[in-house]
């Protein structure tokens, strides 16, 4: 194991000794940050980050003006989309995403429907349905459903 529990809610990395409240954050640190040189540089100062999302947060917090927001949109949101579907015109950053679109989505009717009472969500891929269904089972909604079930009994 690359980490150890140091308290009731604290995990420490063996390599760099950083501590995290949640195990998942420590695992993210071990997999994506620890021992890795920063490769994403801020165009406005000397800050460097190991992950794009960290650089984006830095730019918004330290240089948060409209110009920076446009830069962030162009680099991280829009990006280059070089893979186009000839049938519907959608574009993708990666060939595998275009392949998935052609195989499971393009020209097809939604085949997966949410069965949660009152929900009309439909989609073309099972993984998207599973992601959607998680929105129904947040802790707040789970308590609401559970309390209403108790009232019915």
Give 82-131 pLDDT, tens digit per residue: 778 888 877 787 889 889 889 888 888 999 999 888 889 898 888 888 88
* pLDDT, average across residues 58-85: 68
Q: What is the pLDDT of residue 68?
A: 60
Range of the domain at 16: 3-32
Q: Could you tell me if 24 and 51 lie in one domain?
A: no
Query: Is the pLDDT score of 139 beyond 60?
Result: no
33-57: average pLDDT: 82
pTM: predicted TM-score of the whole model, two decimal places: 0.38
Helix or strand run (H / E) with residue 145? helix 139-152
- 70, 86: one domain: no
Round to whole Å and give the CA distance between 99 and 92.
10
Same domain, 120 and 144: yes
Q: Which residues of 113-135 are buried (b: 16+ CB within 10 A; e: fewer)?
A: ebeeeeeebebbbeebbeebeee
Do 59 and 74 lie in one domain? The reply is: yes
Say how many domains are in the chain: 4
Residues 91 and 118 in one domain: no
Asked if 96 and 116 sit in the same domain, the reply is no
In this structure, the answer to whether residues 119 and 141 fall within a common structural domain is yes
Note whether 116 and 147 are same-domain residues: yes
Return phi, psi of residue 89, to 5°. 90, 0
Among residues 73, 92, 74, which one has the least CA distance to residue 82?
92
pLDDT given for residue 152 in this prediction: 42
65 three-class SS? coil
Q: Are residues 118 and 103 in the same domain?
A: no
**pLDDT for 74:** 60
- Residue 14 CA to residue 7 CA, distance in Å, equals 15
Both 102 and 117 in one domain: the answer is no
Predicted pLDDT at 2 = 55
Q: What is the pLDDT of residue 113?
A: 93
């Amino acid at each position: 194991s690359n980490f150890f529990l140091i308290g009731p809610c604290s995990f420490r990395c063996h390599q760099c000794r950083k501590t995290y409240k949640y195990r998942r954050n420590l695992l993210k640190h071990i997999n994506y940050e620890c021992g890795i040189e920063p490769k994403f540089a801020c165009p406005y100062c000397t800050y460097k980050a190991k992950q794009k999302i960290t650089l984006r947060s830095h730019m918004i917090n330290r240089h948060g003006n409209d110009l920076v927001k446009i830069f962030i949109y162009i680099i991280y949101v829009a990006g280059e989309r070089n893979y186009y579907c000839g049938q519907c015109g959608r574009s993708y950053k990666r060939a595998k995403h275009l392949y998935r679109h052609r195989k499971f989505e393009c020209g097809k009717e939604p085949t997966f429907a949410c069965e949660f009472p009152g929900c009309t969500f439909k989609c073309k891929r099972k993984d998207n349905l599973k992601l959607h269904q998680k929105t129904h089972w947040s802790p707040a909604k789970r308590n609401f459903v559970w309390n209403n079930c108790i009232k019915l009994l």
